[in-house]
Structure 1
Amino acid sequence: MNNRLVIVLVLIVTIVFLGVSNSFAEKKSADMSQGKWWDTDCENENPSWGYDSILYCEVGPKLREIEKNSNRVKVDVIGQSAGGRNLFLVTLSDPKAMGRLGKYQAIRKTMLKDPEKAQAMIDKFGDFKVPVFINGSIHGNEYPGVDAAIRLIETLAYGNSDEVQTILENVILLVNVVQNPDGRVLGTRYNAKGVDINRDFITQTQPETRATVKLITEWNPMVFLDLHDDVQPMLIEPCSPPHNPNYEYDLYIKWALYQAYAMEAELIANTDETEALIPFRDWDFSAISYSWDDWPPIYTPMYAMYHGAYGHTLETPYEDERGVDAHYWAVWGALKFVAENRQAMVKDQVEIFRRGFLDLPQAQIPASILAETPYDQFNELTIKDFPAAYVIPVDVPMQLSSHQPARLVDFLLFNDVQVEKASESFTLNGVDYPKGTYVVWMDQPKRGLANMILEDGLDVSDIEGIEFYSPPTAWSHPLLWGVTRARMEDVQSIKTSVVNKADAPSGFVESGKTNYYAYMPTSLSAFKATNDMLNRGMTLYRSKSSGAFILPANSSIANELANTWALNVSLMGELPEDAVKMKEQRIAVYGDEGVAIALDELGFKYDEVSRSDLNAGIISGYDVFLNQSLRWSQINADGQASLTEWFAAGGDYVGLLNRGAVFGRDAGLINFDYEYQGDADAILKIDYDPTDGVAAGFLENGFAYVLGAMWFTTVPSDATVSASVADDDFLVAGYWPQWPTSGANSKSVILNKDSGPQDTALIVIDATFRGHPKDTFRLVGNAIFNGLD
């Protein structure tokens, strides 16, 4: 593994010092290098109600003015939001930084040979700079973060005080000035797609998220501060327990806690505030039943912690100018703390990655730190037993299709996880794996990040007193993205080579004469291809039982399916008796952003409808009504009458989750009894019936995510069960107290009913949660097409 050793060490040096060598060259003319990003047309914006907040359209011109008048500032457009608005990155530091590159390079070269010696060299070369990242107002209607960020930029761009100079001598400041421009313009927490970006970092569905991830992986900032409001008194992380065991939490908390104290001190010294809320220090679970935990990697600072950052969410106590002041002074305290402690802080940041690359054990939180918290019973959760590697086969029959592993591997690589490929065949746990199988060795700097993505997760259901701020408590990419992977506990001698990109998915066309071709709904690409061909007016059929998509023999289209869509196309001599001709479906949707993400990835066209639309009888123009959260009782008499008439005429219904299912029952479409446990937040083992049209393309033994568990306790004789909770030990990971005695085992969770022209499908697992469980998106696609007659 000599090549791997070199690569890992190169990564470690990049982690600490990337960007210093390429960010502060002599300033080029912004007119030539940037374009006129500062010319922003003002929209009808929704500013803060509490103060005269800077408008989004004013941010570009303001940053341009600062850039023109300070040689400490560089402004870049790092992408566009979901709504097409620019995302601005300000990079700021002492312009003389380039004069120190020789010392940085010396540390780099030494790290290639001996990371421990490189840590010693940090003491010798004590004048290097460390990157600090500030994220402005990821929730668009939490306005003070952006204004505080601009005020900080101005202070450091123009100021000449001793504090300013000290910070500039020690810090490279990276400011994502307006992380959510859509929300700032619209006056909403969410972006233009209705997504809470601060819940998206484990899935990365949005362009704003991906732009920030790219910056984090390029810079590996030592400190990450995410600016929010409002909590009284001002909240400054680190968090209350439980802490995710994939962090090197002892190294993180050693600096994050005392940096929080420094932020609190600066806040108190310069505002009217007399205290701050530091959850790790102040949250006593014996007195409250509430949490501010860092368990799920959905939040921006928690995600950054997997890249070695000392991450903090800051929540100001006010939504007015006092909130701007609070953010400004708290961040100022952090910058001063970094300037005073950067050598020791960066040595421990490097230690995080050294542990990974040397496969060193994690350590418990020191007793001196635990003495600072009132509640330490979850300390045992901070230790993780990492495997030697994860193994990901590429093609069928070991995968449903080649799309799922390619998606996962590219996700790992985008997130700065090292992936290699076997140069020879090998055997693991009695299974033979071919040459070309992906291997994710865990002796790598960001092992915690790799393991967090690839593991099943933990069952934390029965830990006394545990609380979580926000779901999910389990998010396994292999299980929820439909990827078969194996865990290698002990190192095997396998020749592997580094990969920089996943092999593109591939398909084939079975050779021979035929009347029809067929392909199965085993990937999102199969649905995209189908919807594309229907949109082009092509003739397609679908088997109601197997779910197979079927087309009359046409070699050019079959080759397109294999080569463009990477699908496996087989011969079918005769059209099955249950085959129905397909048509492009007109879909009305009442659902959240997860439903929209799923439908987009499946390639469906759809319209989002409101209650007033349904009350006005708009449903008559559609083939399918997909409902996630509307109750039948929320529709007025006219709306109920028009829906009843539409159902009788053959309108199809797909109900998701509790409300969507009960709507179907209350509308008279399918009768059932059920149980519901709202505290479930878990990944479950699911038994699918692949001979049923709604579960077509699934393996018999699969998985699904639930947030609030519902299951059917009675099933009418005229309904079909498409999927059920597994019989024994059905909870894989997550939080569901007393799940073994819940009675959910073997109970159905997907029903469908064919009533002639009208079809109903009820799916009560959370098939689209925040766009994450991509494998179960296919259930929604099958349900939509299953109503074709």
Structure 2
Amino acid sequence: MHLKFNPKLLLTAFSLFAVPAISQQLPSPKSHFGFEIGDDYQLANFTQTEAYFKKLADASDRIELTSIGLTEEGRNQYMMIVSSPENLKNLAKYKEISQKMARAEGIGPEDARKLAGEGKAVVWIDGGLHATETVGIHQLIETAWQLADRNDAETHRILDKTIILLTHANPDGQELVSNWYMRNSDPKKRSLEFLPRLYQKYIGHDNNRDFYMMQMKESRNMGRQLFVEWMPQIMYNHHQRGPAGSVLAGPPYRDPFNYVFDPLLITGIDALGAAMYNRLNAENKPGFTRLTGSTFSTWYNGGLRTTTQFHNVIGLLTEIIGNPTPEEIPLVPNRLIPNGATPNPVTPQKWHFRQSIDYSISLNWSVLDYAARHSDELLYNIYHMGKNSIDRGNSDYWTAYPKRIEAISELMKSARPTATASTESGPAPKVNYYDMVFKDSTLRDARGYIIPADQPDFATAVTFLNALIRSGIQVEKATAAFSVAGKRYPRGSYIVKTAQAFRPHILDMFEPQDHPNDFQYAGGPPIRPYDAAGWTLAFQMGVRFDRVLNGFTGPFEKIPYGELQNLKTEIPKAAKGYLLSASENNAFLAVNKLLAAGADVYRVTAGPDLGKFYVPASAKAKSAITALGDSTRIAVAAAGKRPAATTRLRAARVALWDNFGGSMPSGWLRWLTEQFGFPVTRVFAADIDAGELRKKYDVVLFVSRAIPAKGNERGPGRIGPKPEDIPAEYHGQLGSLTAGKSVPALKAFLEAGGKVITIGSSTALAYHLNLPVRNALVEMTTTGERPLPGEKYYVPGSILQVSVDSTLQSGWGMPAKADVYFDDSPVFNIAPEAIAKGAVKPLLWFSADKPLRSGWAWGQSYLRNGVTAFEAAVGSGKLLAFGPEITFRAQSYGTFKFLFNEMYVFEP
């Protein structure tokens, strides 16, 4: 959908005299909302904001309003394109220049200089992604108004030299949060506290963790503009909240930055950061902190700001204080002394919402003024970074990862003293330790990656490729079989070459992240990464690929930028039945469609086809499989007869735990089950505590942070509101799981034949049930047993490799080794006699002392032989405990089957 609001005003010879009249015709925020943006105790909701955007665009010749798509709740997501009237007439030209400069394909430096001079810097400014951070969307409203209304020389220069993309990041969240805050007629009683549900339909705050995967509609809408359509040179992502004792945190950011970045990106961030805090200081606006003054770095991919950095875009983040209800800047003594991190400290004081809006406007104008003054430089620099990436992808190149430096250090330590000793022929040559590593041909960066079409779950591999395509990566497809480096690949295989502008993002999706050992001081505690330390998407998704170190060609066709790939299901003819592979995620979607259509489905429980689904041929079966369409591929094999060891399936009655206000892991899992067709019912603590669960459900799912730790009565999370403080419709969602009431109800459910699946910290249920398992990550001290301290063992979010028992139902269709997302996840020791009796069966365990695949794992040798997932019999039922995050942010496709396999009932 595209909504365009054209101005009704014509420029004439008298246009200079018409400027004041035009300004008077523009609707001010106060005339529309009834209050000034930033007034205390006032928030605008999305319905009001949408009407204002339309009204403002209709009246201004500086704004073109467009809907970039629909949200998860069905609202229009708007982007305002703001520039001079003349520039707006030539948007297609400037968009094309921006695309050419970002992709840097077939353009020499001289032509790039010329295009840079002809183009306009494109600057993205968004607001509202995290809807409870209310400064974000309100500064966006005020920015739009001021860009339309102001007639000072600086603003005109900005409009003439830049194209500004003002983007609403979360319309659904604004509607929910603002209405919740404004529901109380007494302004002094208004509060953002106890929001009843997530401010993005499924994932709430994690909507800023979805930008290399782009699962949510809002992420896809914005990703297309950022990586396929407009490809800005600067993007500015507004957030809250600054560190206590400051007003805001901003660029430049603390180390480490990701080693795949072009250095020009980092110095570009430095330059914009200087423009931002210089302006604030010039306007006597103290309280900006940077570098080690905050926790924010440029290591992580996946955020709205950070993913753009892997595309050579100067991605900016600020985290500011401020709320419609006035607050206090607290006294933090160590922030009062000026230093390199905080050159201009702020003093304790009462802080009003409008002050944060004013700061945000100053920051926006500093970015826009920089872009206007350096428009050609920004355009050329993004070209230069892209050209560097293409050149590196076309040559032998070694990225300077920490592991390479460690390798040099180890070589130097192990060098013999005689290496430089004199010989009869003269002095021995010095050993070039640098060349021993950085000229080692086996350690080069890949020239490209091949994703074979004959891998067990090719549909998931294509889902991975579509994530790359959505992020602007050039993908190629083989039109015929071909060979590279002595290996044969079938027609339909995909190729991703690194000789392209967004090479940093390609490396980040295929290669391991090598997070440095980062401690507060030598021998001290670790410094936690801002988010994950390792996330390699190809590993998470279980994609099989080959790294190619030399340049290669073949019968490859380039897929147009942004064109998603589909695979068609081929149904065998004249078959008595069908076999569906247990290795394919999409097989579970097909089975769920078949069961919903009333078709018979069986599971093979023994023999060479263990785990496969058998479907007798019928009109219902063929219709259900065909209805999946050309966009959902499953491997369907003909079966001459029903395999001997089969059991009929029915869909399980599945309950998924959630809590008041919403759990993000639960929301991700709810979205995931919807995508794969599993019918799931949300339940809350009161539903579980009511007991008699077996009458309603076959399976109950608990994500992380649901079950209380052993020794704690109540589960983690915030203390809920009083029932009288929230609408009656939410009363049934209040409360949290407890050891005294919830655990006995779950034990009764298990003993009656139910199945409980726990993930992450919720595996603590095993301890409450007194199963013969214990924490493997402890040490004995003089005062008793304690968890291993961070100085000895620390694994933040990273990818580790585990061994898998694929003979157990949970592991059907899985390989012998799997990559799991592990974030300080539980690891267990199981009593040998329990294993011998079959009471507890290990499913996933660490068979190596160095299981790290991507990220950071300090003291990983402690993991060896530890069990990180198991199943246990409890009465007639079964408890499944998965320590790793097997459904992590709906990204870890490679481990979904551990859950999916357990979400059916075997009929007698």
TM-score (ref. length: structure 1): 0.83
Is residue 108 of structure 2 the alignment partner of residue 115 of structure 1?
yes
Question: Does the aligned pair in 2 maintain the 1:357–1:445 contact within 8 Å?
Answer: yes
Query: Is it true that 1:535 corresponds to 2:596 in the alignment?
Result: yes
- How big is the shift at 1:526? 1.1
User: Residue 181 of structure 1: SS of its match in structure 2?
Assistant: helix
CA contact (8 A) 1:704 1:776 kept: yes
Written as runs of structure 1 = structure 2, the 5 A alignment for 1:354-369 is 354-359=387-392
User: CA 1:99/1:176 → structure 2, altered by over 3 Å: closer, same or farther?
Assistant: closer
Correspondences of 1:579-658 after superposition (within 5 Å): 579-590=646-657, 592=665, 593-617=667-691, 619=693, 620-628=695-703, 629-631=705-707, 633-634=713-714, 635=738, 637-658=740-761
Q: Work out whether residues 77 and 89 of structure 1, in 8 Å CA contact, stay in contact via their aligned partners in 2.
A: yes
Change (3 A) 1:424 1:549: closer
Give the conservation status (yes or no) of the 8 Å contact 2:611–2:809.
yes
Tell me the equivalent position of 1:338: 371
What's 1:386 paired with? Answer: 445
Output the CA distance in 2 between the equivalents of 1:504 and 1:127: 38
1:507-518 counterparts in 2 under 5 A?
507-508=569-570, 514=576, 516-518=577-579
Larger Rg: 2
1:725 corresponds to: 846
Query: How big is the shift at 1:766?
Result: 1.0
1:595 positional shift: 2.3
Q: CA deviation at 1:560?
A: 5.1
Aligned to 2:634: 567
Deviation at residue 704 of structure 1 after TM alignment = 1.2
Task: Calculate the aligned-residue CA RMSD, in Å.
Answer: 3.5
CA distance in 2, matches of 1:618, 1:205: 36
Q: What does the per-residue CA deviation read over 1:377-410, in whole Å, with 9 as the maximum and x for residues that have no partner? A: xxx9xx9963111111113xxx113211221222
Matching residue of 2:231: 220
Q: Does 1:240 align with 2:254?
A: yes
Aligned match of 1:782? 901
Change in 2 beyond 3 A, CA 1:52/1:118: same
CA distance in 2, matches of 1:510, 1:147: 57
After superposition, where does 1:37-436 map in structure 2 within 5 Å? Answer: 51-97=41-87, 114-122=107-115, 126=117, 128-183=119-174, 185-186=176-177, 190-195=199-204, 196-217=206-227, 218-231=229-242, 232-248=246-262, 250-270=263-283, 273-279=285-291, 282-283=292-293, 291-319=295-323, 320-359=353-392, 386-395=445-454, 399-436=455-492
CA distance in 1, matches of 2:840, 2:585: 27
- Flag the 1:697–1:181 CA change in 2: closer, same or farther, 3 A: same
Q: Please name the residue that 1:478 is paired with.
A: 538
Contact 2:398–2:445 under 8 Å retained in 1: no
Distance 1:435 1:604, change over 3 A: closer
Q: Which amino acid aligns with 1:194?
A: I
1:746 CA drift (Å): 3.6
How do residues 728-747 of structure 1 correspond to structure 2 at under 5 angstroms?
A: 728-739=849-860, 741-742=861-862, 744-747=863-866
1:662: Cα distance to partner? 2.1
Q: Deviations over 1:730-753 (max 9, x none)?
A: 2111112111x21x2243322224
SS of aligned partner of 1:278: strand
Q: Tell me how far apart the structure 1 counterparts of residues 58 and 617 of structure 2 sit (CA, whole Å).
A: 64
**Percentage identity across paired residues of the two chains:** 19
1:494 to 544, 550, 554: 554
Give the C-alpha shift of residue 464 in structure 1.
8.4
Q: Is the 8 A contact 1:517 1:558 kept in 2?
A: no
Distance in 1, Cα, partners of 2:507 & 2:93: 34
**1:232-258 deviation line (CA, Å, top 9, x unaligned):** 23211232111112221x212323212
CA displacement at 1:550 relative to structure 2: 2.2
Q: Using the TM superposition, name which of 55-64 and 480-489 deviates more.
A: 55-64
In structure 2, what is the Cα distance between the partners aligned to 1:74 and 1:55? 21
| Residue matched to 1:664 | 766
The alpha-carbon distance between structure 1 residues 510 and 698, as it changes in their structure 2 partners (threshold 3 A), is farther
Displacement of 1:354 in angstroms is 1.1
| Structure 2 residue identity aligned to 1:277 | T
Q: Give the length in aligned residue pairs.
A: 718
2:98–2:231 Cα contact (<8 Å) kept:
no
1:3 matched residue in structure 2: none
1:777 maps to a residue whose letter is F
Distance 1:127 1:109, change over 3 A: closer
For the residues of structure 2 that align with 1:617 and 1:102, how far apart are their CA atoms? 62
One-letter code aligned to 1:489: L
- Does the CA contact (< 8 Å) of 1:723 and 1:750 recur in 2? yes
Structure 2 residue aligned with 1:377: none
Quick one: which amino acid aligns to residue 211 of structure 2? F
Q: More deviation in 182-191 or 53-62?
A: 182-191
Q: Offset of 1:646 from its aligned partner?
A: 2.5
Give per-residue Cα distances to partners, 1:751-783, cap 9 Å, x unaligned: 224567422222112101122112211211112
Give the Cα separation in 2 of the matches to 1:673 and 1:550: 39
Aligned to 2:335: none
User: Measured at CA, do residues 529 and 405 of structure 1 come closer, stay the same or move farther in structure 2, by a change above 3 Å?
Assistant: same
Measured in 1, the distance between the counterparts of 2:750 and 2:553 equals 61
Q: What is the CA deviation profile of residues 621-665 of structure 1, one whole-angstrom value per residue up to 9, with x for unaligned ones?
A: 111111123326443645444433322221111121232x22134
SS at match of 1:239: strand
How far the C-alpha of 1:294 sits from its partner, in A, is 1.4
Q: Deviations over 1:493-538 (max 9, x none)?
A: 4342212446533445567765x53322322211111122222232
- How far apart, in 1, do the equivalents of 2:226 and 2:488 lie? 37
Contact kept in structure 1, 2:38 and 2:354, CA below 8 Å: no
Structure 1 gaps of 5+ residues are 1-21, 30-41, 284-289, 366-379
CA distance in 1, matches of 2:285, 2:444: 43
Return the letter of the residue paired with 2:499: D
Counterparts of 2:286 and 2:97 in 1: how far apart (Å)?
46
Structure 2 gap segments, 5+ residues each: 10-31, 178-191, 324-352, 401-433, 659-664, 715-737, 778-792
Q: Name the residue aligned to 2:18.
A: none
* Cα displacement (A) at 1:462: 7.3
Pair 142,205 (structure 1): closer, same or farther in 2 beyond 3 Å = same
| Alignment check: 8 A CA contact 2:767 2:774 kept | no
Query: Contact conserved, 1:759 with 1:786, CA < 8 A, in 2?
Result: no
Question: Could you tell me how far apart the structure 2 residues matched to 1:108 and 1:723 are?
Answer: 46
2:360 and 2:134 mapped to 1: Cα distance?
A: 11
Which deviates more, 337-346 or 181-190? 181-190
CA spacing shift, 1:527–1:24, aligned 2, 3 Å: closer
2:754 partner amino acid: G
Pairing 1:658-697 to 2, within 5 Å after superposition? 658-659=761-762, 661-667=763-769, 670-676=771-777, 679-697=795-813
1:31-42 aligned at under 5 Å gives the runs none
Corresponding residue SS for 2:261: coil
Decide whether aligned partners of structure 1 residues 303 and 106 sit closer, same or farther in structure 2, where only a CA change above 3 A counts. closer
